Amino acid sequence: MYMRTVKVFEQRTNTGVQYRMTIPKDLVQKYNLNGSIMLIECEDHIRIYPAEIVKKRILIK
């Protein structure tokens, strides 16, 4: 699994807290992410998964 640190932005809404992230263009092209991703934060790194695998949900522990 390819791992890389990316910027994560917290956005508070009336339905809770959402997290958005920016992905380097080389990752978007290499993994054909097209902006739809899954991210799991694990201590000091963030794992990036294509959203199709995880039904386009964003999960942060």
Per residue, the 3-state secondary structure of 25-54, as one string, reads: HHHHHHHCCCCCEEEEEECCEEEEEEHHHH
Provide the pLDDT confidence category of residue 36 given band limits of 50, 70 and 90: low
Cα separation, 5 vs 59, whole angstroms: 16
**Closest by CA position to 48, among listed 25, 29, 9, 21:** 21
Both tokens of 14, joined, read 């009336």
pLDDT in tens, 19-35: 666 666 676 666 665 55
* H helix and E strand count, the chain: 1, 4
Residue 59 has a pLDDT of: 42
**pLDDT at residue 14 is higher than 70:** yes
